[in-house]
Copies of this chain bind each other. A is one copy, B any other.
């Protein structure tokens, strides 16, 4: 087990405290697993108090023993229920009036009502935008784990030629591919912050399955095994001469990277080969465009313009009526982090940000395209994913 070092946790807490002071907040109560892990180094059934000044207090319901083993925080306090939170904070000398942050984008309404009763003199504000901005800039420590996840996902993609054969179902291929990821430490799913969207397992789709839309906010849908789980691999049999698109995020040591590659048994129609090459070309144009400071919407606007010029108006990022309006998304402890490359988002891309770019074309007969994970450095984007960017043909 790799525990998050104390210096790493301290630096994250310091950044958060500086931002809270700037916003005249007194502190934040965090509960979401991803945020709690970021600031404590562990995931427990717990409430984390981070004051704008002073030591954090990590209140753990279950498991205290494990929380103490994994987190370098100084104050790890057992609680029986979140009802105990005000008493614990008083004990540590923290006042409970003032402006306190909660994760209002994910916190359920009933839990919010509960905290309102528990802290009658507190003004609660949404702390998520602040936490997301801090988390968007990765440390050297985090980038190493993202690189490790890229090696893990590469390892699994390299197995596909050995696993793939004509006549197997998408689910058979997916199950074996996922098993390679999983035995190398993949969590089994990828966390999404957006309500009702995640978690994401990944897409293994052949032929027109790749053109099946879904509720998920991405260019690829997929039939899934049932209307109750309508995404990714389904029961369709893999045939010759059709695109098999594999779009998988992989989470190792908490960190998620995202990658897409196309495979084919036999040959692809010329227009699909061309579309794949055009998707790679769009990616390369985006990489030339972006540098520290580029507004987040620019890569999307450029991609859209290029795609339309190339004649892909009706297949760019989805089927007509189901096209998504972004070209990339941040990755880290969640699959849907900042930055988001979509129209109207003018915040700058900054060094330390890690993101996936995924230009894709979706035809009724199947989907092709690419996806890689990048790090923005002072000198421009660096590609983290390492799998060769080609269509892999099998005989």
Contacts and interface: CB of A to CB of B under 8 A. Distances in A.
A178 B189 contact: no
Contacts of A109: 102, 104-105, 107-109, 112, 126
A62 B231 CA distance: 13
Interface string A243-285: 0000000011111000000000000000000000000000000
Contact of A175 (B113, B174, B182, B199): B182
Interface string A169-195: 101101110111111111111000001
Contacts of A225: 185-187, 252-253
Contacts of A322: 62-63, 65
A189 B201 contact: yes
Contact of A183 (B111, B172, B181, B227): B172
A63 B213 contact: yes
A92 interface: no
Interface residues of A, number: 78
A321 interface: yes
B175 A213 contact: no
A214 interface: yes
A217 B45 contact: yes
Number of this chain's copies in the assembly equals: 2
A41 interface: yes
A119 interface: no
Nearest to A106: B108
B195 A199 contact: no
Interface in A304-333: 321-322, 333
Minimum-distance CB pairs A-B, first 9: A228-B254, A63-B213, A175-B182, A175-B183, A175-B179, A187-B229, A179-B179, A104-B109, A185-B225
A379 interface: no
B178 A33 contact: no
Contacts of A64: 321
